[in-house]
Amino acid sequence: MKAFILDRYEKKSALRFGDVPEPALRDEDVLVEIHAAGVNPLDAKIRDGEFKPILAYRPPVILGHDMAGIVIRVGPSARKFKPGDEVYARPRDGRIGTFAQFIAENEADLALKPKSLSMEEAASIPLVGLTAWQVLVEKADLRKDQRVLIHAGSGGVGTFAIQLAKHLGATVATTAGTANLDLVRNLGADVAIDYKTQDFEKTLSGYDVVLNSLGADTLEKSLAVLKPGGKLISISGPPDVEFARQQGLNFILRQVLRILSLRIRRKAGARRVNYSFLFMRSNGEQLSQITPLMESGTILPVMDRIFPFEATNEALAYIETGRSKGKVVVKVR
């Protein structure tokens, strides 16, 4: 099969387009013919070697963390899906590889594709949808009438998280560039902060939750937005000690992450705010709960561009510009 392969970690290097064997099925696996694959900043960061300490992939490895396609075969112990089912998924860490014509995934990571979405639209959802769900529903336990600030509202996670937070009944503030203010308002944002002309930390206060996907400066400024007992949840780091435990990292790496997160944890503690880091994980059950929200139109996919499969490297380069609105997808088949 054809695939885009990472041969070595190298910043901004091109993935190799070549032939690899079709993946073998494990007992609980499902073999999927991929029709479309989402492109995420995570792919570029793994290619650049930024995640080597916590995601130890040994090249050559196929990249790609989102997909939609059709089930071709199932393993002897797989019971949830059958050949011909249209599915979507974010493969689990250690078994990524959606920049390819086929992938074998554990059935627990898949869900039936929303019937109302095209393959390309469905492929745009799993990583950002699960990230937003795990931040707002699982970790923040966001409730009706609470207030949440979602940074980078026009990005992949932001566009989904705004809609999910509104569905949960929250008041939503977001940051975006001037050109994207109408987009985030149309998605449901009650307050849209133009980060080019406004200081969000001087405009907002008394919030219950902040979802941070930006750098350390924005992370620390976000503390001023939260009320005592509020939750600052970052998907861009720094990783904390709890994350190190969940990942089963060794003692040295645990201490490194303890030191890296010490500054923000101390600052959060001084304001009686809870800081935590989230590295999203695959979860077919949660994706199945997202599916009806997509089918009903409660949450709409926000697509920026669809690239042909052969232009996957160009899609990665576009993602790295930081100018995409919503998701970028490659059409595999």
Could you tell me the residue ranges of all domains in the chain?
A: 2-125+301-331, 127-277
What confidence score (pLDDT) does residue 86 get? 98
What confidence score (pLDDT) does residue 241 get? 83
Mean pLDDT score across all residues of the chain? 96
Examine the pLDDT at 250 and tell me if it is beyond 90.
Answer: no
What confidence score (pLDDT) does residue 269 get? 96
Examine the pLDDT at 246 and tell me if it is beyond 90.
Answer: no
Which amino acid, one-letter code, is at 265?
R
Residue 8 confidence class, pLDDT cut points 50, 70, 90: very high
DSSP secondary structure letters along 93-114: TTS---SBSEEEEEGGGEEEPP
Examine the pLDDT at 222 and tell me if it is beyond 90.
Answer: yes
Superfamily holding 127-277: NAD(P)-binding Rossmann-like Domain (3.40.50.720)
Residue 248 confidence class, pLDDT cut points 50, 70, 90: confident
What tokens does 239 get?
């990783």
Closest CA to 156 of 91, 235, 50, 48: 235
Examine the pLDDT at 323 and tell me if it is beyond 90.
Answer: no
Query: 2-125+301-331 adopts what CATH topology?
Result: Quinone Oxidoreductase; Chain A, domain 1 (3.90.180)
Does residue 308 contact residue 102 with C-beta atoms inside 8 Å?
no
DSSP secondary structure letters along 170-220: -EEEEEE-GGGHHHHHHHT-SEEEETTT--HHHH--SEEEEEE-S-HHHHH
